[in-house]
């Protein structure tokens, strides 16, 4: 269903060891040019450590590759762990711009996997909701809780008037988790014979740049007796759990963990590449800049929030959002 991320290729393109050395050289050169900005070697070493490649993942192939190299180091390198600790499989997505080859695949924006002509979801005032995106679980059937789901593809619609209110009263309701802000819809792979086509998506004032997910099987590591393996430094501690848009696994909480009914189903994270880094998307080599035309349309919710979706034993969904 999904194209799979060639993680070996991306590890070669973004080698953590070389990235660390570039950071060290850059900070040292800065220190030599402007020593008055530093309070000695302690400041220099702190800045080098602070700018090291960190884990946690993200929307770009580089972010996923860096995270996985830090995991490798924690388990088999500097950590020298002798046994594989408990780990939880999760499918995480790096993104490519544009529509996928399969309409059922994970995506933000673009065309939803639903029949043409079927009534469009609307908010309380009768206005059409925005198709935010969809998550396809067809390639993740061995990831809990996917085997118990009522469908293969989860479509997500958002209340544009609330989420894009720009700091007003409606936006506050969104931040507080107003249940009418999002609408979910399940579909089975193969059931949609005549899907929505170009021009069949209502205008809502919230335009989302189409991008689709390239899947990668990763693992999260729950806290346990081996936690010291990741306790090398902040960079490796951040690699215990991968963030970004993901299926299953452990939520990468932006704030404190929140008690939710059921188990974590998926995380819907904003799509926002790091500036100055090549391959902000799998199919785009040129680095993103503040002038990149697609930036203002990328799916960032209202203000770079992240939405966490949970599923109960009876299949009912609940969600919570957090923001930095």
Q: For the whole prediction, is pTM greater than 0.95?
A: no
Q: Region 43-59: what's the mean pLDDT?
A: 85
Residue 36 reports pLDDT greater than 70: yes
Mean pLDDT (the chain) is 90
pLDDT of 17 reads: 92
Q: What domains lie within the chain, and their CATH numbers?
A: 55-322 (2.30.320)
Q: Among 100-104, 182-186, 214-218, 313-317, which stretch is predicted with the lowest mean pLDDT?
A: 313-317
pLDDT of 43 reads: 87
CB 181 within 8 A of CB 150: no
DSSP letters for 166-203:
SSSHHHHHHHTT-GGGEEEEEE-TT--SSB--TT-SPP
State both tokens at 55.
Answer: 């884990």
Residue 85 reports pLDDT greater than 80: no
Alpha carbon 137 to its chain's center: 15
What are 267-294's pLDDT values in tens digits? 999 999 888 899 999 999 999 998 888 8
Token match 């800049």: residue?
A: 289
**E strands within 201-271?**
211-220, 246-248, 263-268
pLDDT of 167 reads: 63
């Amino acid at each position: 269903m999904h194209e799979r991320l060639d993680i070996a290729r991306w590890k070669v393109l973004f080698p953590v060891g070389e990235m660390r050395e570039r950071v060290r050289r850059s900070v040292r050169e800065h220190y030599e040019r402007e020593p008055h900005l530093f309070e000695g070697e302690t400041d220099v070493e702190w800045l080098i450590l602070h700018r090291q490649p960190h884990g946690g993942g993200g929307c770009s192939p580089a972010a996923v590759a860096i995270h996985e190299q830090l995991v490798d180091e924690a388990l088999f390198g500097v950590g020298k762990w002798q046994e594989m600790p408990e780990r939880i499989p999760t499918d995480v997505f790096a993104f490519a711009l544009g529509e996928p080859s399969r309409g059922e695949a994970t995506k933000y924006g673009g065309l939803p996997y639903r029949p043409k002509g079927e009534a469009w979801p609307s908010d309380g005032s009768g206005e059409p909701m925005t198709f935010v995106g969809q998550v396809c679980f067809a390639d993740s059937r061995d990831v809990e809780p996917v085997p118990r789901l009522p469908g293969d593809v989860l479509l997500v619609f958002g209340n544009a008037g609330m989420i894009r209110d720009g700091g007003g009263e409606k936006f506050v309701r969104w931040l507080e988790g107003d249940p009418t802000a999002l609408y979910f819809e399940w579909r089975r792979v193969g059931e949609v014979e005549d899907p929505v086509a170009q021009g069949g998506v209502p205008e809502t004032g919230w335009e989302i740049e189409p991008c689709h997910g390239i899947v990668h099987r990763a693992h999260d590591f729950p806290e346990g007796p081996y936690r010291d393996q990741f306790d090398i430094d902040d960079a490796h501690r951040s690699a215990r759990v991968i963030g970004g848009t993901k299926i299953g696994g452990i939520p990468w909480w932006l704030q404190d963990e929140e008690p939710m009914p059921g188990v974590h189903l998926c995380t819907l994270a904003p799509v926002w590449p790091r500036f100055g880094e090549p391959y902000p998307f799998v199919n785009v080599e040129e680095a993103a800049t503040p002038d990149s035309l697609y930036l203002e349309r990328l799916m960032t919710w209202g203000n770079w929030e992240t939405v966490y979706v949970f599923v109960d034993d009876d299949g009912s969904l609940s969600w919570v959002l957090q923001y930095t």
